[in-house]
Amino acid sequence: MSVNDDLPWIGQVLKLIRDAVETDVPVIGHCLGGQLMAKALGAPVARNPVKEIGWFDLSVRSSETARQWLGDATGFPSFHWHGETFDIPTGAVHLAESAACLNQMFALGPHLGMQCHVEMTPELVEAWCRDWHREVQNLSLRLPSVQSPEEMLKDLPVRISQLHETAERIYAHWIRNLAR
């Protein structure tokens, strides 16, 4: 699905996000949620040049805002499963990118939009891998930005552990913003 689809609930969610941002209630969004946040904040969401499916590294841009959300990380591995992406909303800080997708993460005060998936569990990765063929069946050739299920499941416990280290930093910062 796309935030650009004509679905009855999308307008309601966009309004909810705008209301939360206007009243300084921290919002966080992963993938479709990040796209919804970007659109609610006036940034376009469109097809990414390539699908990005699997484990790929993100490069963190150097800024004080990036350090607040990600500590001293200059990069980290993350899980991806998308064919669209967002532009960075006006006033937001661009935090991270990958080789296949320029806009992976942005922050606007206490709000964080992500294209990547830092919330994954082994069970989620395994379930999504079972649907892999549906996602890639229309690709004329498999791109380097699309891993096979075997590639995604390789070393899964180690990858999830590394991902959760990053997720813990992100969620800890987000939660601190909730306490204001």
CATH superfamily of 8-178: Class I glutamine amidotransferase (GATase) domain (3.40.50.880)
Choice between 180 and 163, residue whose per-residue pLDDT is larger = 163
Does position 75 have pLDDT exceeding 60, yes or no? yes
* pLDDT tens for each residue of 16-61: 999 999 999 999 999 999 999 999 999 999 999 999 999 999 999 9
Q: How far apart are CA 5 and CA 126, in angstroms?
A: 27
pTM of this prediction?
0.93
Cβ-count burial of 70 within 10 angstroms (0-12 exposed, 13-18 middle, 19+ buried)? buried
Band the pLDDT of 1: cuts 50, 70, 90.
confident
pLDDT of residue 66: 97
Classify 4 as helix, strand or coil.
Answer: coil
- Residue-range domain boundaries for the chain: 8-178
Whether the CA torsion 41, 88, 110, 79 is positive or negative: it is positive
Q: What is the largest CA-CA distance in the chain?
A: 50
